[in-house]
Amino acid sequence: MRGKIIMVEPIFNSGQMSRLVKKDPYLLMVYNDLLKRGHSHEIVLEVLYNSNVLEDSLMTSAYQACRTENG
């Protein structure tokens, strides 16, 4: 496999996703709206992850940057 770049999708982590939501105004707005509609914290984070982080290189980078931050 020499010379090939293998892209690995990030793995969902609720703490990491929570940190990203706190930093991003759009994600925070959607997060709060879904909570108000009665969805659980964990489900909302997974929905945001699946719909905004996966397949988006900028959001994936932001998500990965939240991996080691304290918050």
pLDDT band at 67 (very low <50, low <70, confident <90, very high): confident
Residue 48 to residue 44: CA distance in whole angstroms? 6
Residues 7-23: what's their mean pLDDT? 90
16 has a pLDDT exceeding 80: yes
The token pair that represents 53 in the structure block: 């982080």
Q: Is the dihedral of CA 14, 16, 19, 20 positive or negative?
A: negative
Angle between helix axes 25-36 and 14-23 (nearest 10 degrees) is 110
